[in-house]
């Protein structure tokens, strides 16, 4: 990680999530941003537009668009959103294989041009792609982290705030596990200005909000018809970049490499971590109920299944 005053942030993939992450990073003035994509002209056009928005948004960040990986040289942080969304008729295995090849190519270039960077992976299936990125780059596991828990927690926070008619700023929560249907929300770690949610809502309403959180991405896809969520995922990735840039050591739920924590080894899974200049500074272990531990193990099983599928494809 460089000690220069200006951080350099690479965003790999200039689609909706990548370009919006670049926008948020620039607006937070975290550093200068390089927006990469293989589509000629697209990252250049979006980057120029974002740079011109800077004076209006009171940002000093320059955003550069490129089709050349060499332009991310020396990046301190790299946000990886490159990959295909799941399309009608495409099986989960199809998506896994196609995105695995994309992530492998990205990893090769990060090893070459940004060998000291902290890598934030957004590409789905998230936990498996983060594991693949760590293996393919050869980076220390703490410098490769996945974006999932912040997004899932933000969704639960938003739903609780909407239900109670309170400010979202006052709601804190925690979601563990893999990104998707196997996530493990923790209602007892959810509070409004320190007041446990159990004192404010019935068990039935809490269960309904938890279920809505599980299906949060699908709800947006159903409404949009031709796309998926990108504002909140991009904001989540930018929030992680901020924690790294500012060396906050903020405790945030992220997909982190586990080496025995929660009784799990050699996989990535959503857990609370202290996120700072070196990436994952430490994994925070929470006390879980028997049911929550079982749900986390089930979530881990889905991730292991994806890793084994990558091995059978000879990608890993």
Q: Residue 87 maps to which CATH number?
A: 3.40.50.720
Are both 212 and 304 inside the same structural domain? yes
Residues contacting residue 303 through CB under 8 Å, at least 6 positions apart: 127, 128, 131, 178, 267, 268, 269
215 within some domain = yes
The last residue of a domain, from among 123, 146, 169: 146
The last residue of a domain, from among 111, 128, 146: 146
Distance CA 172, CA 155 (A): 11
Query: Which residue range is the domain that position 133 belongs to?
Result: 7-146
Are both 27 and 164 inside the same structural domain? no
Are both 74 and 181 inside the same structural domain? no
How confident is residue 160, by pLDDT bands cut at 50, 70 and 90? very high
Are both 238 and 194 inside the same structural domain? yes
Q: Are the C-beta atoms of 118 and 279 separated by less than 8 Å? A: yes
**Residue where the block lists tokens 């924690």:** 243
pLDDT for 114 beyond 90: yes
Higher-scoring residue by pLDDT: 84, 56? 56
**H helix or E strand, kind and range, residue 126:** helix 126-137
| pLDDT tens column, 227-281 | 889 999 999 999 999 999 999 999 999 999 999 999 999 999 999 999 999 999 9
Residues contacting residue 312 through CB under 8 Å, at least 6 positions apart: none
Strand 265-276 relative to strand 63-66: parallel, antiparallel, unpaired?
A: unpaired
How confident is residue 92, by pLDDT bands cut at 50, 70 and 90? confident
Looking at residues 107-112, what average pLDDT do you find?
98
Burial 135-147 (b: 16+ CB within 10 A, else e): bbbebebbbbbbb
CATH number at residue 180: 3.90.110.10
| pLDDT tens column, 184-240 | 989 989 999 999 999 999 999 999 999 999 999 889 988 998 888 999 999 999 999
pLDDT for 90 beyond 70: no
Q: How much of the chain exceeds pLDDT 70, in percent?
A: 97
2 within some domain = no
**Residue where the block lists tokens 């006390």:** 287
Are both 196 and 153 inside the same structural domain? yes
Are both 106 and 221 inside the same structural domain? no
Are both 188 and 257 inside the same structural domain? yes
List of E strands, 46-177 = 63-66, 77-80, 118-121, 144-146, 171-172, 175-176
Q: Are the C-beta atoms of 48 and 212 separated by less than 8 Å? A: no
67 in active site: no
The last residue of a domain, from among 97, 121, 146: 146
Are both 115 and 21 inside the same structural domain? yes
Are both 214 and 159 inside the same structural domain? yes
Structure confidence at residue 1 (pLDDT): 53
265 within some domain = yes
pLDDT for 2 beyond 60: no
Distance CA 201, CA 184 (A): 19
Looking at residues 156-183, what average pLDDT do you find?
93
**Of 46, 179, 214, 239, which is the active-site residue?**
179
Are both 17 and 115 inside the same structural domain? yes
Its pTM stands at 0.96
Looking at residues 6-30, what average pLDDT do you find?
97
Distance CA 83, CA 116 (A): 23
Distance CA 288, CA 91 (A): 34
Mean pLDDT, the chain, integer: 94
Higher-scoring residue by pLDDT: 100, 88? 100
Domain count, the chain: 2
Are both 66 and 165 inside the same structural domain? no
Q: Are the C-beta atoms of 114 and 73 separated by less than 8 Å? A: yes
1 within some domain = no
Are both 114 and 187 inside the same structural domain? no
Looking at residues 22-39, what average pLDDT do you find?
97
Structure confidence at residue 178 (pLDDT): 87
């Amino acid at each position: 990680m460089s000690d220069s005053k200006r951080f350099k942030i690479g965003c790999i993939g200039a689609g909706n999530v990548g370009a919006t992450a670049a926008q948020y990073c620039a607006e937070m003035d975290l550093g200068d941003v390089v927006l990469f994509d293989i589509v000629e002209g697209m990252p250049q056009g979006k980057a120029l537009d974002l740079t011109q928005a800077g004076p209006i948004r009171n940002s000093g960040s320059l955003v550069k668009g490129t089709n050349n990986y060499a332009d991310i040289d020396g990046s301190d942080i790299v946000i990886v959103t490159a990959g295909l969304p799941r399309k009608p008729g495409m099986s989960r295995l199809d998506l896994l294989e196609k995105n695995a090849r994309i992530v492998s190519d990205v990893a090769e270039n990060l090893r070459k041009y940004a060998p000291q960077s902290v890598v934030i992976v957004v590409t789905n299936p998230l936990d498996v792609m983060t594991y693949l990125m760590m293996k393919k780059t050869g980076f220390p596991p703490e410098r490769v982290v996945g974006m999932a828990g912040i997004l899932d927690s933000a969704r639960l926070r938003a739903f609780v705030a909407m239900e109670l008619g309170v400010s979202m700023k006052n709601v804190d929560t925690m979601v563990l596990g893999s990104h998707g249907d196997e996530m493990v929300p923790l209602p007892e770690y959810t509070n409004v200005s320190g007041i446990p949610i159990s004192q404010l809502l019935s068990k039935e309403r809490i269960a309904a909000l938890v279920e809505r959180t599980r299906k949060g991405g699908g709800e947006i896809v159903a409404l949009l018809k031709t796309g998926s969520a990108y504002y909140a995922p991009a904001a989540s990735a930018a929030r992680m970049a901020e924690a790294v840039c500012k060396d906050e050591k903020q405790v945030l739920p992220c997909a982190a490499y586990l080496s025995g924590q929660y009784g799990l080894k050699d996989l990535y899974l959503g857990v609370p971590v202290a996120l700072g200049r070196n990436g994952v500074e430490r994994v925070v272990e929470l006390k879980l109920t028997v049911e929550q531990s079982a749900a986390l193990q089930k979530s881990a099983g889905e991730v292991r299944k994806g890793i084994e599928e990558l091995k059978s494809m000879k990608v890993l």
